[in-house]
Structures are given as C-alpha cells and as structure tokens.
C-alpha cells in the first residue's frame, strides 16, 4: 500500500479511545515511565485522542486483566506494554479478539505474530554492528554475557550469528561467573552484555579494569546509563532504536522537532524508548484515520520520526533498523 502523507492528527471530530499499560512502578519503571511519556506526548498533540495508561507494575497478570477489559469495551487503539515478557503475555488477549496491537515495547524475535505491529527492529539485530566494529578493530574473539529470558536469548543469538559471519569465536559466560572469570575471559575480547538494566550496569562496572578492546551492552542505549556509571561509561557501545534527524517523515513530526517539543513538555530529552512509543501512537492513529484493515497495515510502507516502517509477510519489522552509539565525554554519539 502506498504511504499517505499526514500530520499525524486524526481530525475527524470524533473522540478516539486509546489504551496501554506501562510499568510506572516495579522493576521496569525506568523504561516503562519513558514509554508512557512518549504515549502521552502523542495523545497531547492529537486533537481527538483519549488515552488511558494503566500501571501494570511489571506484572503480566495485571497487564492481561487490563487488556481484556479494553478488548471487551471495544477500545479503538490498543498499544502494547513495555517489555517483551509483558507483550508476550497480552498478545493472545488482543489478537484472539481479532484486534491489532501496536507493539512499541517488545523486540524479542518470538513476538512476530499476525496482528502484532512492531515498531522496534528485532532484538536479534541489536549487536550486529558492534560485532562488525569489533572485527574492524582486529579483535580475535567475542565474549557474550547474557541473562535469562527470550529477549536476552534473541540478542545473544543475533550476536552469535554475526560473530560467526565475521569469523570470530564466541565464548559465553554466565552472570554468576563474571567476578572469577572476567579478567581471563574478557582481556583482548569484544564483550557483549545483555541482561536486565541493573545487571548490565553492574557487569560494565565489574569489567572496567579489564583490557577489553570493545565493551557493549543493551543498557548503554538509555541516557541514564552515563548518570549511573559516570566516567566508567566512557567508550561503552550500545544499540538504540532511534537517533533523531531533521528528515520529514510521512507520518508525524521530524525527530528534531519532536525532541524540541518533548523537551519543552517534560523538561528532559526523549529516550529511544519514548520515541518508539510516540511513533506507535502516530502510526496507530493514522491507520485508524485511514480505516486500514489488518491486511492494509501488514502491507503498509511509510515512515515516522523513528524511521522507515515496513512489515514482511510474517509481520516482522523490516523497514526500521537498529542504530549503534558509543559514550564519549558524557554524550551518546552515533557510530555510522
């Protein structure tokens, strides 16, 4: 389907109900709060969106009850929660009812499913660029430190495949082994870390004294990473779903315009977590305005402040790509 230029405002005069859960409290409160802020920015800019964001506290059961209620009430737009585990839990509630879920907060590869519209690039792509950078540096091995769960497994699998393509051997280390094996295993290696946010920060702090030519972790993509680690964040590489640009997308504002307005509203710049939530709202609103069917959405090719949007026949995101950053003097700078 050909993309249709839009301001992102529905403008029909009718009120449109939208709903999502967000982990406003609990273990995912940092990212959940950022996602909720991104959704609130979108709803605030629209003229006819009534948005409800309910706190799921990081609980799959709490989120499931909320989405079942919204399905029963016939809410117009359902946006997913933050976190692959929560998206996985509510997915059947929404899709079994024949409704679309706009997924901004779960990138685990196993979430690819009809009627689930992913905004983020798949988790298996997160460390592809980091492995390429390591190979360019002449690094001779990759050390992979992965936590539990399907999301970490997807990131690790993608890193493993990228290392194989680059001809780099991979050694995998459990989180519990870091202290005793760190120096011996990580010296001279590209170390790639994917666990919880707090675990990523702890492992980076543990490995700062080790002579590793490249140190990367998923947590490095968030602005708070450098606030937590201070100088220890210097040089750390990480994946992000969004880098703001001045390019005018087909749906909604440019990344630079969005950043300016978001900062004025919340007194802090948006993270990529907020940006992908905003993009999900904009796309969902535009699809509602155009009256797109699920088949239309599946074949839709367009763009938002997040970048290009396109799904393949399995509903996997193939338009948007993961970016890679590194920390330099307290700034998160993109790596081409």
Q: Which one of 3.40.50.150, 3.40.50.2300, 3.40.640.10, 3.40.50.12240 gives the CATH number of domain 16-121+243-320?
A: 3.40.50.2300
- And the tokens for 188? 């001279």
- Are the beta carbons of 279 and 273 closer than 8 angstroms? no
SS3 breakdown of the chain: % helix, strand, coil, rounded to 5?
Answer: 45, 20, 35
d(CA 193, CA 187): 15
- CATH, range 124-240: 3.40.50.2300
d(CA 322, CA 188): 26
Global pTM value: 0.92
Q: Which residues pair with 171 in a beta bridge?
A: 143
Sequential pLDDT tens for the chain (336 residues): 333 333 333 344 689 999 999 999 999 999 999 999 999 999 999 989 999 999 999 999 999 999 999 999 999 999 999 999 999 999 999 999 999 999 999 999 999 999 999 999 999 999 999 999 999 999 999 999 999 999 999 999 999 999 999 999 999 988 887 776 666 677 789 999 999 999 999 999 988 888 889 999 999 999 999 999 999 999 999 999 999 999 999 999 999 999 999 999 999 999 999 999 999 999 999 999 999 999 999 999 999 999 999 999 999 999 999 999 999 999 999 999
Residue ranges of domains in the chain: 16-121+243-320, 124-240
Fold agreement (16-121+243-320, 124-240): yes
């Amino acid at each position: 389907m050909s993309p249709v230029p839009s301001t992102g405002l529905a403008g029909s005069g009718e009120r449109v109900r939208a709903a999502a859960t967000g982990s406003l409290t609990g273990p995912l409160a940092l990212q959940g709060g950022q996602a909720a802020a991104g959704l609130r920015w979108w709803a605030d800019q629209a003229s006819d969106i009534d948005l409800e964001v309910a706190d799921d506290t990081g609980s799959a059961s709490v989120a499931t009850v909320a989405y079942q209620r919204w399905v029963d009430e016939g809410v117009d737009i359902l946006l997913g929660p933050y976190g692959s585990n929560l998206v996985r839990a509510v997915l059947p509630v929404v899709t079994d009812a024949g409704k679309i879920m706009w997924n901004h907060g779960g990138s685990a590869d196993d979430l690819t499913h009809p009627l689930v519209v992913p905004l983020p690039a798949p988790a298996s792509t997160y460390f592809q660029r980091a492995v390429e950078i390591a190979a360019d540096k002449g690094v001779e091995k990759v050390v992979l430190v992965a936590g539990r769960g399907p999301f970490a497994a997807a990131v690790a699998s993608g890193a493993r495949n990228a290392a194989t393509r680059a001809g780099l051997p991979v050694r995998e280390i459990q989180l519990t082994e870091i202290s005793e094996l760190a120096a011996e295993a990580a010296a001279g290696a590209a170390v790639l870390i994917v666990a919880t946010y707090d675990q990523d920060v702890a492992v980076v702090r543990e490995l700062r004294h080790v002579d590793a030519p490249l140190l990367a972790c998923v947590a490095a993509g968030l602005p708070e990473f450098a606030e937590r680690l201070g100088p220890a964040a210097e040089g750390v590489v990480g994946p992000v779903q969004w880098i703001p640009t001045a390019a005018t997308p087909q749906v909604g504002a440019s990344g630079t315009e969005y950043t300016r307005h978001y900062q004025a509203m919340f007194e802090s710049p948006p993270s990529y977590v907020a940006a992908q939530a905003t993009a999900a709202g904009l796309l969902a609103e535009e699809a509602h305005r155009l009256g797109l069917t699920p088949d239309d959405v599946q074949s839709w090719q367009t763009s938002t402040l997040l970048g290009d949007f396109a799904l393949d026949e399995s509903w996997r995101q193939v338009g948007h790509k993961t970016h890679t950053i590194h920390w330099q003097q307290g700034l998160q700078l993109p790596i081409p």
